[in-house]
Amino acid sequence: MEFRQLDYFIATCEELHFTRASVKLGITQPSLSHQIKALEDELGVPLFDRIGKKIAITEAGMILYKQSKLALSNLSSAKEQIEELQQIERGTLSIGALPGELNQLVSTLLLDFHRDYPKVRIKIFGVEDVMSRVLQNELDLAITILPLEDERIQTIPLYREQFYFVATAEHPYAGRAAINFEEILDVPIVMFPETHRCRQLVDRTCTTAGHKLLPLIETTTIDSLFGLVRSGAGGTVLSKTLLEMYDYDELIRIPIQNPALCREVGIIYLRDKYMGKASRGFIDLLTAHVKLLKHDKLLVDCGGEEPEGS
């Protein structure tokens, strides 16, 4: 069994199509089929069910796929560690963040990181499924909402933040020191769609209270959401981080209570993954940036408490 064969096998598993996999690998389709057949002959079991032009991974194939991904990941980690012993600071750092304010938080640090690691190529992905991508080793680390219940994931809490009801100064709730959560349901609301993590926090709170949120308007972009709220189409619910980033003076923010809406943000990465110098450097840069925001009162944890590990 050769590592080249495992590369070919993994590509075929992920494409589930010999021709697409061969194009991805830059080899001919007959060469790929020959290598997969040689691998099956060596193991004595079929790795794929061939149904006409379609293929499906067998149970044995799935076992080999998972173990091959792990083995190649360990080899990559070993190579990275050896390169660091030789004081080679290069390679690629892939970071994931939820779209919106968390992606913006990561992006603000790119110039500082590039100054410290000029030879490292950095990739930022704004995606909703950050945990699955970390688990598939497609991302070195990610910024997301905690907690996450998976023993394979290591977490570093960064901060907890409050959510506010946001509207124009002409809104009926303007001038209130606070509003109860259920009062949000009594006025027109503009929100992100149900796939957005901010919206999911509000929906979970509604469900717990026995209610269902029915927004007047749903939009996928933050610019259009702010535009609608500023025009008076309705209020919305947003995190403090996002409000600080856009800082529209004409909008008022009102704390929500009974219950308060709060979320914890943190860094995640594979527990068993070797964290290279670049990864550790970005984590240190991000944690230092968050501490500075707290010091300058631009970021305040819910309840004024510091999360563990900060």
148 and 21 housed in the same domain: no
Sorting pLDDT into bands at 50, 70 and 90, what band is 153?
very high
R_g of the chain, CA atoms, integer Å:
24
Average pLDDT over residues 229-252: 91
What are the tokens at 217?
């308007």
What mean pLDDT is reported for the chain?
Answer: 88
Sorting pLDDT into bands at 50, 70 and 90, what band is 175?
very high
137 and 205 housed in the same domain: no
Sorting pLDDT into bands at 50, 70 and 90, what band is 65?
very high
Whether residue 167 contacts residue 252, with contact meaning beta carbons closer than 8 Å, is answered with yes
Which residue from 17, 27, 20 is spatially nearest to 48, judged by alpha carbons? 17
Whether residue 12 contacts residue 29, with contact meaning beta carbons closer than 8 Å, is answered with no
Q: Which range, of 14-18, 79-83, 117-121, 306-310, averages the lowest pLDDT?
A: 306-310
This prediction has a pTM of: 0.64
175 and 255 housed in the same domain: yes
Sorting pLDDT into bands at 50, 70 and 90, what band is 78?
confident
Average pLDDT over residues 182-189: 95
> Is the peptide bond between 259 and the residue preceding it cis, with omega within 30 degrees of 0?
yes
Q: Which pLDDT belongs to residue 177?
A: 95
Q: Is the pLDDT of residue 310 over 60?
A: no
Q: Is the pLDDT of residue 309 over 80?
A: no
Cα angle value 116/117/119 (rounded, 5°): 145
154 and 271 housed in the same domain: yes
200 and 64 housed in the same domain: no
CA distance linking residue 140 with residue 146, whole number of Å:
17
Indicate whether 309 belongs to any domain: no
Residue finishing a domain among 50, 66, 84? 84
Q: Is the pLDDT of residue 296 over 90?
A: no
256 and 270 housed in the same domain: no
**CATH code, 212:** 3.40.190.290
Which residue from 27, 12, 130, 137 is spatially nearest to 65, judged by alpha carbons? 12
Indicate whether 96 belongs to any domain: yes
Expressed as residue numbers, the domain containing 188 is 161-262
219 and 252 housed in the same domain: yes
Sorting pLDDT into bands at 50, 70 and 90, what band is 234?
very high
Residue finishing a domain among 84, 99, 118? 84
Residue finishing a domain among 84, 115, 135? 84
Number of domains in the chain: 3
Q: Where are the alpha helices (DSSP H) in the chain?
A: 3-15, 18-25, 29-43, 59-85, 101-107, 110-116, 130-135, 197-208, 222-230, 240-246, 277-295
Average pLDDT over residues 168-188: 95
Query: Beta-carbon neighbour count of residue 262 at 10 Å?
Result: 16
257 and 271 housed in the same domain: no
Q: Which pLDDT belongs to residue 299?
A: 67
102 and 126 housed in the same domain: yes
**CATH code, 78:** 1.10.10.10
Indicate whether 17 belongs to any domain: yes
- Choose the most confident range, by mean pLDDT, from 23-32, 93-102, 119-128: 23-32
DSSP letters along 247-279, please?
A: --TTEEEEEEESSPPEEEEEEEEETTS---HHH
Dihedral angle over CA of 162, 167, 170, 171, nearest 10: -80
177 and 199 housed in the same domain: yes
147 and 292 housed in the same domain: yes
Indicate whether 310 belongs to any domain: no
Indicate whether 251 belongs to any domain: yes
